[in-house]
């Protein structure tokens, strides 16, 4: 039988970074756990959920045992699980701080879904708790780990587009369940802004590498609509960056799903549309000679993000999107809400340098750093 | 020879509406005159130019005689030309008022390139001069006469997209000649805003049919660059419409040519990209079922616009985009510049009703009004 | 903790249909095993490979034990594995028959990669072996199980496109390894035709539901090129269907990866481009009114195919693409090669009826059958 | 008035090449005459038509006089018109020869619509008549004069796509009028093949620069349909070029308008879709690095073609697509019909060299030859 395939040997399950998934919602069940099950460097080692019955059926479905399922009260039971290196927090935003702090106290590293918290102050407390405990805190900014978004950033940073002048981004979708935790101010900390608008904000900062100096925003909250009793329906915001660069953004829970990013330079422009979806990302670069759509080998967005976290745990270096990156977005979102309330421009002060709140660059498939 | 084709009989040259083209720039020479030469209801009857030699060579090229060429000083000679029904003003913005008033005094109808003038006050004076003289004044808003833009408007007005929540438009291009009249404040009245940004403003108002209640804007003018000594390089502006609808716009003379319009409703969205080009307009409508790209029979944008003007001259009805439509855009652009200067929101007051500043709807190819 | 998500309960691992993967090549490792690990109704229960060391490292990586790894000599050891319901044969084509017959003798159902075999005669023997043993034989025609391909078929069958007149399909790619088993005639049974050209043939038959009556083909085999010493580089073939419908197809191992399907009716046309890729399939329907790109919920192609197999094992009904479907494609490919050799049209005879070689229709996500 | 625009001086009407348009059908009225009226080097000097009344109304519409209108009987009256340099024959195919010969006898150059005639023999007679009379004969192959098609050809000739292996082209549309001359065999010489399928044939020859060595074809003619009593509905044909390159083509009068060209090389591929339309041509080049859509300055296809003819009249050089180019396509179409009738491959013999039947390359906008 001469048919030996020439395949990369996958890492043995036992040697992988073990993750406890904290929170079994739609994102965990449909995206994260399947992604982790096909990742190279991590594995699901435990599940933390309010519904033990459901947790056990998940465990059965994914080759875990009943002993791998924990209630939130049993969370500290993970401390002695040597095969659990880190927790991945996939809970409502208002709970991020508590579980980050509890995990840090157990010496477990923390990967926390975005937004990092509900405001800059809470987020900063999380950073400090992890620093004090000597564990990593990484904000799960998936889009800062894909070849598509890095190619957009490289087009900016390398000068391919000339001098960048303006940016424009849209992330809107329709939410229909007034009972979802996303629609509750105390659980979510805001409406579409910290949930989907954050992608626009975060990726504009990522491609530029600089920080906004001022913001202006307007919001719309039709309180007579049960959906928007607590949180806004839409926010339009404008960001002023060093050198006169301006970015326009739109976010909403009341408009048909659209995710775009457009970067306008004097030599060319870049368009991502869709810009933030789980699959099917598209990047187009246009200049005088025409339009180019770079090709990328296929990849799993969550897999790349999670494997970066695993590598940083192993080498001890700061993740590319540490807690500080999440804090900075909260600082800006706090200013956006303040502007929307007051109708005034809010200044954020100047900040010098590139990638001020970021750590070690990720290794991307087929990319030289 | 049995091969009689079944063709519409074109209108005899003698019976067509005769136009005097005032100003022989690139737009006249490359777009307007060729379009008029293939239009159904108009013809070029005279040329007005500062360079009589060049005017005569144009006349020779387009089947006119040397007697059809006028200098600006000879403008009033058109008065006795019975075959000249109207003038088409294609001059620097600051001259629009003077030539409109001189034409009105001769009893000639006026089609005036956009922007109508250099500010709302001057524009209003033009409206009043034409009203007093009993002649038509039409603002040449080409994009309010195309099947593509009407299909976008119909998607909004018919509810196909659900309730409209947000809009986004970009019109940017690179200008490189500091000596062009567009870069001189006294000739142009502004920079990219009244030139290309006006498309975004005007077409957003057109598809919604309503008027903005407030504006916010930021601009960038790098005066050390010889191009931008007099006019701004970029303006980002936000428009607040009734019902909490917000529009984000970007315009610039320093960014790679891009023209887009995106309309976001709760049931679907519309995208035009390019949105404002002379040819190749593209409209896409997206909802839960997928994406639709309506097909249109081919047409000439300038031809449709000019033939609408001819029809209104013949039937005496108000053109769809009369002078008042141009005045309203100036009112809003004045507010945008004021906001950019002061960093404050500028309120425009409420205005009730639909299409407040528009006249008789155009007949479009294959469209029922 | 009020955060109970509302999730479908995944099927317990123990209750799923257990598959032995026979052959650990690139397709198994990179597509099939990851797909099975996230499927709803199946699980990987055993691995059969020539390289036990590699098999064990796969087992470690995917939560199997060393006891789940078998060499080809140990294949019959699967007989007593009650948790192995079926084998999935992912071997060089020439081995399909042997392993199908050995599996059938053990009473295991068989899912066999396409092409079913190396010619119609061998393929027919496989059908008969499975029939005699009372086990299912399904040909793994992935593209007959996706919402995209069914929507294309529905556009044909429902009359949306009017009467179908012509079809066109391309499936070409570049092969560079002369040592790959695909380039060996005795292992593969042919070159690009049974490997990638088969997609065009199979999907054209699928969307029409009818069978070709004649074929014409031309091939190119530059034997001086080490890659093509044994198999052809390219085949162009034409298929004549009932009612004068004609399909043109191109397949090659020497042309840049391209996969398309175009269906031309008198009322409209359908385009898939890419038509056969693992991800990113695109379907566009065009008629007088314009172009429509239907939206589909995301899905895993291999998952849908494998879950169909699992359902048929459970309910005992004939799979949609049984062995007979694979035999018919071999019959046609045998005729294509004969035509290419002789330069003559080869007639296949008439066949009445729809979907003559197919079984029970698959349930698709969001589709009513 | 400091506003002198910097414009190219258009050529005086009197100095342009004067054309007599022979035949006032839809193509003349809607495409050719408008194009000529905006071209740089030609002008319409006379009209020849069966309907003098209609001809006169056209004359009035386009600044000609009644004396510029001729019946077919008065055709020889053009002889003494010094301002008529050439005739542009836009008649049913079967009349091309007669009017070419009559024009040649008057010493007028001939631009003849494609197909050049009704078969190779008739076409060859036209070539010889013009040669004997010392006038130019150019076949109006519009698509050999556009920047898009030249960019596709350059991608082939320059090796950008690697070695070319396969091509695929579709040109189909729906004809609905059984009385149209296109549906009469004696007037048209065939059905969709010489009308629209010819584009595929001609442009494949153009991009390769070589000549086919064999053809195979199948056709469908449902004679019970009044539309197809005389001519075929569809033809599928395969062309074999030197080096094993094969092209598949589809043409029809019974399928929804589709025009495509795909070129497959081992390093990349080119796609034109639409490939043959009057406006909106699109070219995409794909290789490992992704997809590129080159940008072109806007142009008028008919204008470029007609201006090439004018230039060749002035410099006396052979047009890029002389009569010989049209004859060669007839030779191949004759073979295609023969193959469709007999079901046999028809061999055309070998022909060495590049662009065997072509003349002086056209100057394209922005292109260095």
Q: What is the pLDDT of residues B233-270, one digit of tens each?
A: 999 999 999 999 999 999 999 999 999 999 999 999 99
Inform me whether the C-beta atom of residue A91 falls under 8 Å from chain C C-beta atoms: yes
Residues D232, D197: contact at Cβ < 8 Å?
no
pLDDT at residue B154, as a whole number = 98
pLDDT, average across residues C176-202: 97
Inform me whether the C-beta atom of residue D12 falls under 8 Å from chain B C-beta atoms: yes
DSSP state of B8: P
Report residue B329 as tokens: 């855009």
| Averaged pLDDT of chain D | 94
% of chain B residues with pLDDT over 70: 96
C200 CB neighbours in chain D (<8 A) are none
Inform me whether the C-beta atom of residue B294 falls under 8 Å from chain C C-beta atoms: yes
CB–CB contacts below 8 A, B to D: 90
A145-301+318-347 domain in CATH 3.40.50.300?
Answer: no
Nearest chain B CA: its distance from A286 CA (Å): 8
Residue B257 neighbours by CB distance under 10 Å: 18
Report residue C168 as tokens: 């066109």
Inform me whether the C-beta atom of residue D60 falls under 8 Å from chain B C-beta atoms: yes
- Name the catalytic one among D99, D199, D253, D337: D199
pLDDT at residue B76 above 80? Answer: yes
Report residue A347 as tokens: 């200044």
CATH node for C146-296+323-347: 3.30.360.10
pLDDT, average across residues D179-200: 97
pLDDT at residue D291, as a whole number = 98
Domain boundaries along the sequence of chain A? 16-142, 145-301+318-347
Who's near A165: CB < 8 A, 6+ residues apart? A244, A245, A264, A265, A266, B172, B220, B233, B234, B252, B254, B255
Residues A247, A264: contact at Cβ < 8 Å?
no
Which of B248, B265, B271, B285 would you mutate first to test chain A, the one with the most A CBs within 10 A?
A: B248
pLDDT at residue C127, as a whole number = 98
pLDDT at residue A61, as a whole number = 81
Length of chain C in residues, anyone?
A: 369
pLDDT at residue D3, as a whole number = 44
**CA angle D245–D251–D257, rounded 5-degree value:** 120
Inform me whether the C-beta atom of residue C121 falls under 8 Å from chain B C-beta atoms: no
pLDDT at residue C121 above 70? Answer: yes
What's the CATH architecture for B146-299+306-347? 2-Layer Sandwich (3.30)
Residue D6 neighbours by CB distance under 10 Å: 7
- Name the catalytic one among D88, D99, D108, D114: D114
pLDDT at residue B2 above 50? Answer: no
CB contact under 8 A, D248 and C254: no
D256 CB neighbours in chain C (<8 A) are 161-162, 264-269, 286-287
pLDDT at residue B8, as a whole number = 57
C344 CB neighbours in chain D (<8 A) are 344
Inform me whether the C-beta atom of residue C246 falls under 8 Å from chain D C-beta atoms: yes
Nearest chain C residue to A49, by CA? C4
D114 is catalytic: yes
Residues D367, D147: contact at Cβ < 8 Å?
yes
pLDDT at residue C91 above 80? Answer: yes
Which of A160, A164, A168 would you mutate first to test chain B, the one with the most B CBs within 10 A?
A: A168
For A102, list phi and psi in degrees, rounded to 5: -65, -40
Which portions of chain A are predicted below pLDDT 70? 1-10, 366-369
Inform me whether the C-beta atom of residue D274 falls under 8 Å from chain C C-beta atoms: no
Point out the residue among D174, D248, D265 whose CB comes nearest to the CB of C250: D248
Nearest chain B CA: its distance from D3 CA (Å): 7
Query: Comparing C-alpha atoms, which of D56, D120, D126 is closest to residue D91?
Result: D126
CB contact under 8 A, D26 and B13: no
Inform me whether the C-beta atom of residue D264 falls under 8 Å from chain C C-beta atoms: yes
Measure the CA–CA gap between C349 and A227, rounded to whole angstroms. 64
Inform me whether the C-beta atom of residue C297 falls under 8 Å from chain A C-beta atoms: no
**Which stretches does DSSP call E strand in B188-313?**
214-220, 234-240, 246-252, 254-265, 268-272, 283-287, 290-294
Measure the CA–CA gap between A320 and A323, rounded to whole angstroms. 10
Question: Tell me: the pLDDT tens digits for B111-127?
Answer: 999 999 999 999 999 99
Residues A205, A221: contact at Cβ < 8 Å?
no
Between A256-270, B1-15, C23-37, D233-247, the lowest mean confidence (pLDDT) is in B1-15
Query: Comparing C-alpha atoms, which of A366, A355, A288 is closest to residue A144?
Result: A355
Measure the CA–CA gap between A61 and C9, rounded to whole angstroms. 9
- Name the catalytic one among B114, B141, B145, B337: B114
CB contact under 8 A, D51 and B4: yes
D252 CB neighbours in chain C (<8 A) are 165-166, 264
Measure the CA–CA gap between D333 and B72, rounded to whole angstroms. 61
Question: Tell me: the pLDDT tens digits for C327-342?
Answer: 999 999 999 999 999 9
CATH of the structural domain D147-296+323-347, one choice from 3.30.360.10, 3.40.50.12500, 3.40.47.10, 3.90.420.10:
3.30.360.10
% of chain D residues with pLDDT over 70: 96
Predicted confidence band of residue D192 (pLDDT cuts 50, 70, 90): very high
DSSP state of C109: E
Nearest chain A CA: its distance from B108 CA (Å): 42
Q: Both ends of chain A: CA-CA distance in Å?
A: 41
Q: Both ends of chain B: CA-CA distance in Å?
A: 41
Question: Tell me: the pLDDT tens digits for C236-258?
Answer: 999 999 999 999 999 999 999 99
Q: Which residues of A are catalytic?
A: 114, 199
Question: Tell me: the pLDDT tens digits for D4-34?
Answer: 445 556 677 778 999 999 999 888 888 898 8
CATH superfamily of D14-142: NAD(P)-binding Rossmann-like Domain (3.40.50.720)
C269 CB neighbours in chain D (<8 A) are 255-256, 258
| Averaged pLDDT of chain B | 94
B160 CB neighbours in chain C (<8 A) are none
Report residue D16 as tokens: 């342009």
Measure the CA–CA gap between B264 and A196, rounded to whole angstroms. 15
- Name the catalytic one among C88, C145, C199, C253: C199
Point out the residue among B1, B5, B57 whose CB comes nearest to the CB of D9: B57
Nearest chain D CA: its distance from C260 CA (Å): 11
Question: Tell me: the pLDDT tens digits for C278-301?
Answer: 999 999 999 999 999 999 998 999
C166 CB neighbours in chain D (<8 A) are 170, 172, 234, 236, 250, 252, 255
pLDDT at residue B13 above 80? Answer: no
Inform me whether the C-beta atom of residue A161 falls under 8 Å from chain B C-beta atoms: yes
For B199, list phi and psi in degrees, rounded to 5: -60, -50
CB contact under 8 A, B236 and A254: no
Nearest chain D CA: its distance from C145 CA (Å): 27
What's the CATH architecture for B16-142? 3-Layer(aba) Sandwich (3.40)
The full DSSP string for A90-126 is -S-GGGHHHHHHHHHHTT-EEEEESS-SSSHHHHHHH
């Amino acid at each position: 039988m001469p048919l030996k395939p020439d395949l990369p040997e996958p890492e043995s399950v036992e040697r992988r970074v073990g993750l406890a998934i904290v929170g079994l919602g739609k994102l965990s069940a449909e995206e994260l756990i399947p992604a982790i099950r096909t990742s190279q460097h991590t594995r699901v080692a435990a599940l933390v959920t309010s519904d033990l019955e459901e947790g056990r059926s998940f465990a059965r479905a994914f080759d875990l045992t009943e002993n791998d399922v924990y209630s939130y009260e049993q969370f500290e039971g993970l401390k002695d699980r040597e095969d659990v290196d880190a927790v991945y927090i996939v809970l409502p935003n208002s709970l991020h701080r508590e579980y980050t702090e509890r995990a840090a106290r157990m010496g477990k590293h923390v990967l926390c879904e975005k937004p990092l918290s509900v405001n800059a102050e809470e987020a900063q407390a999380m950073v400090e708790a992890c620093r004090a405990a000597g564990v990593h805190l990484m904000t799960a900014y998936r889009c800062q780990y894909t070849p598509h978004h890095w190619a957009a950033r490289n087009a900016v940073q390398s000068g391919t587009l000339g001098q960048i002048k303006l940016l424009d981004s849209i992330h809107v979708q329709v939410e229909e369940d007034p009972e979802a935790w996303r629609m509750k101010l105390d659980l979510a900390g805001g409406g579409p802004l910290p949930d989907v608008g954050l992608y626009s904000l975060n990726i504009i900062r990522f491609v530029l590498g600089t920080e906004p100096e001022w913001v202006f925003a307007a919001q719309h909250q039709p309180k007579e609509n049960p959906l928007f009793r607590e949180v806004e329906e839409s926010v339009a915001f404008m960001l002023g960056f060093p050198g006169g660069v301006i970015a326009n953004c739109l976010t909403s829970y009341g408009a048909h799903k659209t995710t775009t990013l457009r970067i306008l330079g004097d030599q060319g422009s870049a368009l991502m549309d869709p810009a933030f979806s789980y699959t099917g990302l598209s990047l187009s670069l246009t200049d005088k000679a025409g339009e180019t759509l770079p090709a990328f080998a296929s990849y799993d967005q969550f897999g790349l993000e999670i494997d970066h976290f695993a590598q940083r745990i192993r080498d001890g270096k700061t993740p590319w999107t540490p807690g500080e990156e999440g804090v900075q977005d909260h600082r800006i979102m706090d200013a956006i809400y303040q502007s929307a309330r007051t109708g005034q421009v809010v200044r954020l002060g100047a900040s010098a340098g590139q990638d001020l709140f970021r750590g070690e660059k990720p290794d991307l498939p087929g990319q030289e750093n």
